[in-house]
Each structure stands twice: as C-alpha cells, then as structure tokens.
Amino acid sequence: FSLIALIIVLIATGSVLTGWATMFFIPMLLLFVFNFGVGLVLSSFTVFFRDIKHFYSVIIMALNYLTPIFYAENIFRNKDGTENAISLAMFYVLRANPLYWYVAMFRQVVVFGYAPTAEQWLFCIGWAVLFLALGLIVFKKAQDRFILYV
C-alpha cells in the first residue's frame, strides 16, 4: 500500500522514473532479511523477558527519529554548508543506524534514479547478514527452552 502512495507522490511531484526505479525490490528484500533477523532475536528474548515488547516500542521510536525519512540528512550542517562538532557527531549517529542505509539505498534507486553506491551495498548486505546470522544463532540456542516459559 505504501508503494501505491509513493507512486502517486512521484507522479504529483513530476519526478522522472528511471530504469533504476524498477530495482526498488533490492533494498526492500535486504530490509526484509534484516528485519527477519531482528524478529528472530526479539521473539526469542520476548519468551524469556516479557517486558521486551514494551522496550522495543521505545527503541523503534528512537530509530524512527534517527532515520532521515522526513528530513534531509544535510539538515545538521550550518547554513553555509560547513560542518561543526554537532553536525559531525550527528553524521556518525545517522550512519550507525542500520535503517539509514536501507532508506538511503531506496532513495538512491527510486527518487534520485541512480545506481546504489558500493558503500550502500556493503552496509545493507552487511547489516542484513549480520542480524540474520545473529537471529538464527539466538533462536536456535533458545528454541529448546521455549516450552518451559510459554
């Protein structure tokens, strides 16, 4: 449903869809793998610690504000384009957020119509594989004890 809204906005703003826009499924697939790994970890922890679901909503809200979806990432620069200590710190905070890379890759492909950069590929695949492996390991180690806590 969100893709339908995105297409309407792209048409309304007069954005030109390039051939790269057809590759929108790549960042979405990588984000799915990342979320699957996070889901495995969270589901395993939630069985043993019931308060995880409340803590998770706070983390999701913080990640939402730290991901440049509704604001441009250059908002933290000075008006003359230079950077100061705060803007440099926010630059690193934004890039430490795994969701930043998926949003940046999706924007690069759909909105700007360019191929994803090597840095975007590296971070998106890296975060996806890392959390999928972590999720599988945590879930596999904890699955035998689920029945004791359910």
The angle formed by the CA atoms of residues 57, 120 and 99, to the nearest 5 degrees, is 5
The C-alpha atoms of residue 133 and residue 41 are separated, in whole angstroms, by: 10
60-107 tens-digit pLDDT: 888 888 888 877 777 777 777 666 777 778 888 888 999 999 999 998
| Positive/negative CA dihedral, 147, 32, 75, 81 | positive
Q: Looking at 26-40, 43-57, 78-92, 111-125, which range is the least confident one? A: 78-92
What pLDDT shows up at residue 81?
A: 63
Cα 61 to chain center, whole Å? 13
